[in-house]
Amino acid sequence: MLQPILTEWDSLCSAAKSLCRSFVPRSSLDSFFEPRSVAVVGASSTPGKPGRTVIENLIANGFKGRILPVNPRGGKICGFPVSKTIEELPSGIQMGIVMLPAAQTPAAIQECAERGISSVVLAAGGFAEVDHAGEDLQAELKEVIRKTGVRVLGPNTAGHISTPDRFTSSFFPLGKIPNGPISYIAQTGNFTGAMMRSIMSGEHYGVARCIGLGNAVDIDEADVLEFLADDPKTKSIFIYLESLHRPQTFLKIARKVTRTKPVVMLKGGATEGGAKAAMSHTASLGSDDNVLDGALKQAGVVRIDEFTYLFTAAKAAAMMPIPAGNRVGFVSPSGAFIVHISDICHQRTDLVFSKIAAATQKRLEDISPPFINISNPVDVFPSATVNGMEFAWREAMTALLKDPNVDAVVAILILADELGEMKLDFILDLKRRFPEKPIYISFSGDENSNAAAKSFLEPKGVPTFPRIEDPFKVLDILVQCRKSLA
pTM of the model: 0.91
| Cα radius of gyration rounded to whole Å, the chain | 25
What tens-digit pLDDT sequence spans the chain (486 residues)?
555 555 555 655 554 444 444 344 444 799 999 999 999 999 999 999 999 999 999 999 999 999 999 999 999 999 999 999 999 999 999 999 999 999 999 999 999 999 999 999 999 999 988 889 999 999 999 999 999 999 999 999 999 999 999 999 999 999 999 999 999 999 987 899 999 999 999 999 999 999 999 999 999 999 999 999 999 999 999 999 999 999 999 999 999 999 999 999 999 866 665 455 544 444 444 557 888 899 999 999 999 999 999 999 999 999 999 999 999 999 999 999 999 999 999 999 999 999 999 999 999 999 999 988 999 999 999 999 999 999 999 999 999 999 999 999 999 999 998 887 899 999 999 999 999 999 999 999 999 999 999 999 999 999 999 999 999 999 999 999 999 998
* β-strands 167-168, 160-162 pairing: antiparallel
Backbone angles phi, psi at 464, to 5 degrees: -125, 155
* β-strands 80-81, 76-77 pairing: antiparallel
Residue range 55-106, pLDDT digits in tens = 999 999 999 999 999 999 999 999 999 999 999 999 999 999 999 999 999 9
Residue 177's nearest CA partner among 208, 134, 216 is 208
Question: Which H helix or E strand runs over 186?
Answer: strand 179-186
410, β-bridge pairs: 330, 440
Q: Which domains does the chain have, with CATH numbers?
A: 2-18+26-317 (3.40.50.261), 321-480 (3.40.50.261)
Contact between 162 and 209 under an 8 Å Cβ cutoff? The reply is yes
Provide the residue type at 299 as one letter: A
- Res 129: pLDDT: 87
Q: Got the DSSP string for 351-405?
A: -EE----HHHHHHHHHTS-TT----SSEE-HHHHHHH-HHHHHHHHHHHHHH-TT
Cβ neighbours of 95 (radius 10 Å): 25
- Res 418: pLDDT: 86
